[in-house]
Structure 1
Amino acid sequence: MTRAAALAMFASLALAGCSDDGGRRDSATAAIISGVMTVTPSGDAPTTSEAPTTTEATTDATSAPATSEASAVDDTSGGAGPKFDIGETPDGGPPPEPKACLKVDLLFVVDNSASMKDEQDNLVASFPGFVEEIQLQLEDAESLHIGVVSTDKYDGNENPCDGVLGGLITQTDGSNSSNAYCGPYVSGLRFMTEQDDLATRFACAAQVGTSGDSNEKPLQAALRALGPDLAQPGQCNEGFVREDALLVLVIITDEEEDGSSGDPPDWFAEIVALKGGVETNIVTLALIGPENPECASAAEVAHRIIDFAEMFTYGSIGQICADSFQPFFHDAISVIDQACENFMPPG
């Protein structure tokens, strides 16, 4: 049976079921299910002998042409049963539908205070597997933007962004840093893409060292990095944040968040506003001192960061004291994948 014939049969039986008594409605429903479920995606003939023939399907369909019902069946859903058109929104347009994200912006906020050497080494070692899994899992994504900032006004950065809170790092300096120029990046700007040698470039930028201010400001640095001021042409973060990209924010610190102004609800509201008010277009990953650590940890419990991360639909918390961050990043891939599948394009 062709698709058009199957749809004509569907319309006929649906009309019959609505205009007759309960017995005919039950019969029509059974026939609809039988008819629809026996049509193969390629439009081959029904596989069961009970399926109505084309002649039977078109007998009562004169008031409802088969072509008018095409939009009522969703052949791409992959669900167990037929889908039905839920109609239009009050303004006459179709209801908005989520679409898989095509772009992902990853911002790493790395604590560069005196106690963070081992944690930075751990991050550098765990990153290649993380970004490889992102690229494999998000196969529809067209591009990645990857940037690193520290938790203070980083003095080792390349001019003119040295000493700028939230400025993307392209050069490091100080104790336990890579002490190197990490660019140039293929983008020609201050962020990495999938076209760079990410294992090498990220290892350079993320090893920000341990000479930073002990009054860490991870959330303030993140908000500055994602905000409009540093995104202007010629500024430190030009081109990094894209309106139509999923944002993945990764915070890595062994201290409580006492340095940033405001409180968790303020940070949440501000970062959501920066993403057009759609909080599900943000993934927040926090490697911090957890409330019930499973590993020996000297890290402070980061209650305020925990509160912040838990406000997001796609928020995840890991342990800064873990021997490897790879298991946390591996588990985070499914969170990122789900957020990407449900991504709501701007506008």
Structure 2
Amino acid sequence: MMRARSIAIWVVAFACGCGPVTRNSGGDDDDGGGSGSNGPDAGQVGPPVDAIGCSKMDILFVIDNSGSMGEEQTNLIANFPGFIAVLDQSGLEYRVAVTTTARNYNYNMTFPGVGSIPQNTSGESGAMLKPANCNMTKRWIDKGDPDVTGTFGCVANVGTGGASDEMPLGAVRDAFEDRMQDNTNTGFHRPDALLGVVILTDENDCSYEQSVNLAFPQVLCESQMEPVANYKAFLDGYAGGPSRWAAAMVAGPGPGTCSSSFGSADEATRLRDFKNAVGTNAVMSSICDGNLATSLMDAMMLFQSACDAIIL
């Protein structure tokens, strides 16, 4: 498809820092001769060009708002204009929303000689953010809204006061389950759009089973995790099948911790397992590259490929 080729060219231009790319509106000729309508394939009969490939993308950014994420948020905001430039040039009708990795959760910790003590933490639990200072009329940003990149820069500045137990997979499910049921995020995802998820974190996923009792010194994020297959199964059902959604994870690739100008990142084993479970519609990039331009390029290329493969 012409759109796919155009997106790929713009993604490469974004990644290498090249200038604007133009395309010949007269056709897809490699030699520049003719209009493209008189070539040897002009008389062939095939499926209409819009039979395959979506024209809409709904993208949710799940951003870690724990204490170590300030530099990464700043770099994401700085590179977002290039990401949007690719989408704008593609002609896709997109919308973008932001939530965090923090969730409301509680569990009981049993201490010797003391008994069970409730542990509680609060978070957005998948609610798409609409800060008062960002002048948003809804919980997402649509193509054509005033100052798309400026609004994203405002809403993506989620701060560093969130929970230290990051739960991006749980936050994604919350966004499209609980926050749909209570009408917080209602209207975001369109049934004829590709659903895209971008997760940005420097920690392993800590999404856990909701009924938890721990005996000290057990650690929540090492002992009570919910299988990543549950989150894949949920998204398959919500989006209408495994081909109708895609996920890009920007995290610690392992083995072990990694370091960059952003600081250090733990190995995100559960996000890697999630990526492997999803297959070709998922990609994992390193948060330790020191610049998120490449990671955003990886996400855009993945979303392009998934979108082009959807049969409408």
Q: Do they fold alike, i.e. is TM over 0.5?
A: yes
Corresponding letter in the other structure for 2:130: T
Which structure 2 residues correspond to residues 228-243 of structure 1 after superposition, within 5 A?
A: 229-231=178-180, 235-243=183-191
Deviations 1:282-328 (A, max 9, x none): 11100001115885462110000111022222211111122211122
Structure 1 match to 2:195: 247
Structure 1 match to 2:110: none
Structure 2 match to 1:283: 246
Corresponding letter in the other structure for 2:186: E
Structure 2 match to 1:274: 238
Question: Aligned partners of 1:260 and 1:289: how far apart in 2?
Answer: 20
Structure 2 match to 1:184: 136
Measured after TM superposition, the shift of residue 205 of structure 1 is: 0.7
Deviations 1:246-305 (A, max 9, x none): 0110001101112343211111111111112x2121111000011158854621100001
Corresponding letter in the other structure for 1:215: D
Corresponding letter in the other structure for 1:167: A
Deviations 1:169-207 (A, max 9, x none): 111xxxxxxxx621224xxx2110112211110011111
Asked if 1 retains the 8 angstrom alpha-carbon contact of 2:87 and 2:94, the reply is no
1:110 matched to 2:63? The reply is: yes
1:144 matched to 2:115? The reply is: no
Structure 1 match to 2:130: 170
Q: Which structure 2 segments of 5+ residues have no match?
A: 1-37, 105-121, 210-225
1:125 matched to 2:88? The reply is: no
Measured after TM superposition, the shift of residue 214 of structure 1 is: 0.6
Question: Aligned partners of 1:336 and 1:123: how far apart in 2?
Answer: 18
Corresponding letter in the other structure for 1:191: W
1:213 matched to 2:163? The reply is: yes
Give 3-state SS (helix, strand or coil) of 1:74's partner: coil
Corresponding letter in the other structure for 2:139: R
Change in 2 beyond 3 A, CA 1:222/1:39: closer
Change in 2 beyond 3 A, CA 1:324/1:74: same
Change in 2 beyond 3 A, CA 1:131/1:311: farther
Measured after TM superposition, the shift of residue 211 of structure 1 is: 0.4
Question: Aligned partners of 1:259 and 1:42: how far apart in 2?
Answer: 54
The equivalent position to 1:309 in structure 2, one of 257, 262, 275, is 275
Q: Tell me whether 267-276 or 284-293 shows the greater mean CA deviation.
A: 284-293
Asked if 1 retains the 8 angstrom alpha-carbon contact of 2:259 and 2:265, the reply is no
Asked if 1 retains the 8 angstrom alpha-carbon contact of 2:99 and 2:128, the reply is yes
Measured after TM superposition, the shift of residue 240 of structure 1 is: 0.5
Which structure 2 residues correspond to residues 85-100 of structure 1 after superposition, within 5 A?
A: 99-100=52-53
Give 3-state SS (helix, strand or coil) of 1:311's partner: helix
Deviations 1:124-151 (A, max 9, x none): 1111101211232x33x2x212100011
Structure 1 match to 2:285: 318
TM-score (structure 1 length as normaliser): 0.62
Change in 2 beyond 3 A, CA 1:320/1:235: same
4+ residue stretches of structure 1 with deviation over 4 A? Answer: 38-43, 75-78, 292-295
1:193 matched to 2:157? The reply is: no
RMSD of aligned residue pairs (Cα, Å): 2.7
Asked if 1 retains the 8 angstrom alpha-carbon contact of 2:100 and 2:124, the reply is no
Comparing both chains, which one has the higher relative contact order based on Cα–Cα distances under 8 Å and sequence gaps of 6 or more? 2
Question: Aligned partners of 2:311 and 2:289: how far apart in 1?
Answer: 34
Question: Aligned partners of 1:303 and 1:113: how far apart in 2?
Answer: 18
Corresponding letter in the other structure for 1:255: E
Give 3-state SS (helix, strand or coil) of 1:231's partner: helix
Asked if 2 retains the 8 angstrom alpha-carbon contact of 1:249 and 1:283, the reply is yes
Give 3-state SS (helix, strand or coil) of 1:181's partner: helix
Question: Aligned partners of 1:294 and 1:254: how far apart in 2?
Answer: 9
The equivalent position to 1:328 in structure 2, one of 291, 295, 302, is 295
Which structure 2 residues correspond to residues 62-77 of structure 1 after superposition, within 5 A?
A: 74-75=45-46
Q: Identity of aligned pairs, percent?
A: 31
